[in-house]
Amino acid sequence: MKVTVVGAGAVGASCAEYIAIKNFASEVVLLDIKEGYAEGKAMDLMQTASLNGFDTKITGSTNDYSKTAHSDIAVITSGIPRKPGMTREELIGINAGIVKTVSKNLIEHSPNTIIIVVSNPMDTMTYLVHKSTNLPKHRIIGMGGALDSARFKYRLAEALGAPISDVDGMVIGGHSDKGMVPLIGHAARNSVKVSEFLSEERMQQVVEDTKVGGATLTKLLGTSAWYAPGAAVSGLVQAIACDLKKIYPCSTLLEGEYGLSDLCIGVPVVLGKNGIERIVEIELSDAEKAKLKESAEGVSKTNGLLEL
C-alpha cells in the first residue's frame, strides 16, 4: 500500500506521521515544492521509526512526481493555511491553482489513485478536482467532517464531563465556520441522547464551539491546526487501505442525495478499498435539512468563484 502526501507542511507531515505510527502502509511519499523540505521531513520522521515501532518507509521528494508513481491513495495538503481573522474561503485564489496542478500531476503518475483533498476551502477544492480531472466520483474524497466530528466529540465530552470514548456525534455540511451542521439531535453518550444530560443552552454552546473549532485554534496558534487534521486524514486513509467499510462524514459529489446536486459537501459515507463505496442518507429533522440547504448555498457560492 503506497500513499503519497503532497504538501509536507504542518498537516501533511502530521498525516504522514499518524499513517506511519498506525503501521498499515508499506510506503509513504511526501512531496513538496520547497527544495529539500519533504526530504528533510521524511528523514526526521524515519528517525522516529525505531522509537515509535513502525516499519512504514517514508521518503521525500522535491516536486518529482515520478517518485509518487502507482500510489494507491494520494492526499493533497499543499496550499496556504489561513491566518487569524481570515475565513477558509479567502484561500481560494492561491489554493485553487495549486490543487489543480497537483491533482493533474498525481493522476499522470497514478491513474488509479484515490484522492483525498484537504487544502481549503476544502469542499470547493474537492469540487475543483471533480471538474478538472476525469476521476470517477468515488475516488475523490474531501476531508473535513471527520475532523469537525472529532472536535464535536471533544466539546460534547467536555460539556458532559464524560470520557470521549463514551461520546458519539457527527458533523455534516460544508467545512466552514458558518456552514458546519453538528447533528446535536443525534449525538449520544453511550446510546443515550445528550439532551438527557445537557440543557438546550449548553447544547447550543457545544454546536457553536464546534463550528468555530478551526478559527479558535488559528487564533491561538497564529496558523491553522495540524495534529487533529493529520489524525483525521490518517483515519480516512486507513479505512480505505484496510477496506474497513467505516462511516465518516466526507465531502463528496452529490447527485440528488439530500436533495442537493452539483456540489461537494460533507455527508456520511462508507469508506472501503474503492474509496467512497456508499453515500448514507440519514433521516434529518426539518431544522437540520434547512441548515444543510443553507450550508450548500454557501458552498455553491464559493464554487462560483472558481475559474472552470
Ligand X SMILES: NC(=O)c1ccc[n+]([C@@H]2O[C@H](COP(=O)([O-])OP(=O)(O)OC[C@H]3O[C@@H](n4cnc5c(N)ncnc54)[C@H](O)[C@@H]3O)[C@@H](O)[C@H]2O)c1
Q: Which residues in this chain contact ligand X in the complex, by CB under 6 A?
A: 6-12, 32-34, 37, 77-82, 91, 95, 98, 101-102, 118-120, 122, 143-144, 147, 175, 223-226, 229
Total residues at interface with ligand LMR (CB under 6 A): 11
The answer to whether 117 and 251 have CB atoms below 8 angstroms apart is yes
| Window 133-152: residues binding ligand LMR (CB under 6 A) | 147
State the maximum Cα–Cα separation within the chain, in Å, rounded to a whole number. 56
- 155 known member of a binding site: no
Q: Is 224 in the site for ligand LMR (CB under 6 A)?
A: yes
Q: Is 229 in the site for ligand LMR (CB under 6 A)?
A: yes
Q: Is 126 in the site for ligand LMR (CB under 6 A)?
A: no
Nearer to ligand LMR, 71 or 218 (CB): 218
Residues forming the active site: 175
Residue with cell 465518516: 248
- 165 known member of a binding site: no
- CA separation (Å) from 52 to 6, 89, 239, 292? 23, 37, 21, 41
- 225 known member of a binding site: no
Kind and range of the H or E run holding 5:
strand 2-6
Return all residues near 72 (Cβ < 8 A) that are at least 6 apart.
1, 2, 3, 110, 112, 113, 114, 240, 241
Which x/- pattern, by CB under 6 A, does the window 101-120 give for ligand LMR? -------------------x
Q: Which amino acid is at 121?
A: P
- 189 known member of a binding site: no
**Cα(180)–Cα(182) distance, rounded to whole angstroms?**
6
Beta carbon of residue 195, minimum distance to ligand X (angstroms, whole number):
28
- Which chain residues interact with ligand LMR by CB under 6 A? 81-82, 88, 120, 147, 175, 214, 218, 224-225, 229
